[in-house]
Amino acid sequence: MDSQQVTLLQRKRAVPHTLVLEHVSPATRLLEKRRQMFEVQEALEQQKMEFNRKEEVFKRREEGLKKKDLELQESLIRFSKFLQENDAKRMHALKKAQDERKTREEKEREVEQLGVAMEELTAHRQQVQQLLHRNIRYQHYLESVLEGADEFHEIGDLILRHATLAATNQDLKEQRNHFGEAAEQTRSELQAYTKTKTDEIVNLNNTISRLKKQLETYEAESYAQETKKDYSLQVASQKTLEYGQVCMSTDNLFQRCRQRSKVAHGNVTNPLLQLEAIGNFVSDLGAIRELSQKNNVKSSMQSMPRLEKLSVAGDK
* The predicted structure's pLDDT at residue 135: 61
Specify the pTM.
0.28
pLDDT in tens, 17-53: 444 455 667 788 788 888 888 888 888 989 889 888 8
Q: How confident is the model at residue 132 (pLDDT cuts 50, 70, 90)?
A: low
pLDDT in tens, 223-255: 888 888 888 888 888 888 888 888 888 888 777
User: What DSSP designation does 150 have?
Assistant: S
Residues in the chain: 316
Q: Whole-angstrom Cα distance, residue 6 to residue 222?
A: 13
The stretch 79-85 carries a mean pLDDT of 87
User: What DSSP designation does 134 have?
Assistant: T
* The predicted structure's pLDDT at residue 109: 86
Q: Whole-angstrom Cα distance, residue 47 to residue 55?
A: 12
Sign of torsion over alpha carbons 97, 100, 105, 106: positive
Q: How confident is the model at residue 1 (pLDDT cuts 50, 70, 90)?
A: very low
